[in-house]
């Protein structure tokens, strides 16, 4: 029996615990311009906090949170995306393919 695409609905959540505090983020996959990013997700909390994480077209990581922008850290949002398998580390080639 064929399944209608509209009949499939899923909501993705991710729990991030840092310094003993757990936050629940709702995940929405974005459809970025391929010239800007290869993959992008929006993470939002019920309190209105919202960040966008991405792997840029050049292969760099990006997040809109202060920890990433100002402290230049691989923030908890990006770390969580890797741990959940939503972002994958790219294999580096020594020679051009």
Q: Interface with Zn ion by CB under 5 A: which residues?
A: 63, 65, 68, 75, 77
Closer to Zn ion by CB, 37 or 65: give it. 65
Smallest separation, CB 57 to Zn ion (Å): 19
Closer to Zn ion by CB, 6 or 19: give it. 19
Biggest CA-to-CA distance, the chain: 52
Quote the distance between the C-alpha of residue 55 and its chain's center.
8
Smallest separation, CB 35 to Zn ion (Å): 23
Neighbours of 8 (CB within 10 A): 7
Closer to Zn ion by CB, 55 or 77: give it. 77
Strand order across the beta sheet in which 12-18 lies: 12-18, 21-29, 37-44, 50-56, 61-63
Smallest separation, CB 83 to Zn ion (Å): 14
């Amino acid at each position: 029996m064929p399944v209608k695409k509209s009949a499939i609905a899923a909501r993705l959540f991710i729990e991030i615990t840092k310094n003993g505090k757990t936050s629940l983020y709702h995940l929405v996959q974005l459809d970025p311009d391929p010239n800007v990013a290869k993959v992008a997700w929006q993470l939002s909390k019920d309190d209105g906090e919202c960040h966008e994480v991405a792997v840029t077209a050049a292969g760099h990581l990006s997040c809109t949170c202060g920890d990433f922008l100002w402290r230049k850290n691989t923030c908890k949002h990006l770390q969580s995306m890797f741990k959940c398998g939503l972002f994958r580390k790219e294999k580096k080639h020594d020679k051009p393919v």
